[in-house]
Amino acid sequence: MKVALYNRVSTAKQTTENQKIRLLEFANSNGWEYDIFEEVESSRKTRPIKQKLLGLLRKGVYDSVVVYKLDRWARSSTELILETKELIDKGVAFISYSDNLDFSTASGKLHFHILSAFAEFERALISERTKEGLRRVKMKGKQLGRPKGSKDKVKRSNKAYIMRELKKRKQADEKKGVFLPTSDYIK
């Protein structure tokens, strides 16, 4: 089995050595062929090594990805659920060494579904709190949305909207077998 070992730290002042040592021991004890992917100084939005690895996993280059802990792979439960679900659906195993989770096994799948349920619950709670907060602010008389600015004082052209609509009509007519020159739609 060929696996990808993924290590991540948040700043250049930190090291992935502890993660790497454990993952190498784990891979060697299982007799796996592996490649190491190290993400150093990652931010919430930029993790180029992880993106490269995801591309390789999507292409089927690796049978499995092994991380030291779940939080080394994803920064939010939503990110974790979406990405691991995609990998599982593609037949790629996802293993978290220190969490003792292997999402390719029956018990791992159960854990994954429990995590998914909690992530969905968390999203629903956030949505409810946001809606309640907006309702409260609106009741106090505050106008919601972007404040009016200088761009709002100038009448905007609607040419682009009109051209999109004309194009849609022309395409609909062509599906019906009616072919008219574009100039007939502009009148």
Query: CA 44 to CA 25: how far, in whole Å?
Result: 29
Is-catalytic flag, 10? yes
Query: CA 71 to CA 31: how far, in whole Å?
Result: 25
CB 4 within 8 A of CB 37: yes
141 to each of 8, 33, 46, 128, 132, how far by Cα in Å? 47, 63, 39, 20, 15
Active-site residue identified among 10, 42, 104, 116: 10
Q: Which of helix, strand or coil describes residue 95?
A: strand
CB 32 within 8 A of CB 61: no
Which of 115, 52, 55, 110 minimizes the C-alpha distance to 82? 115
Catalytic residues: 10
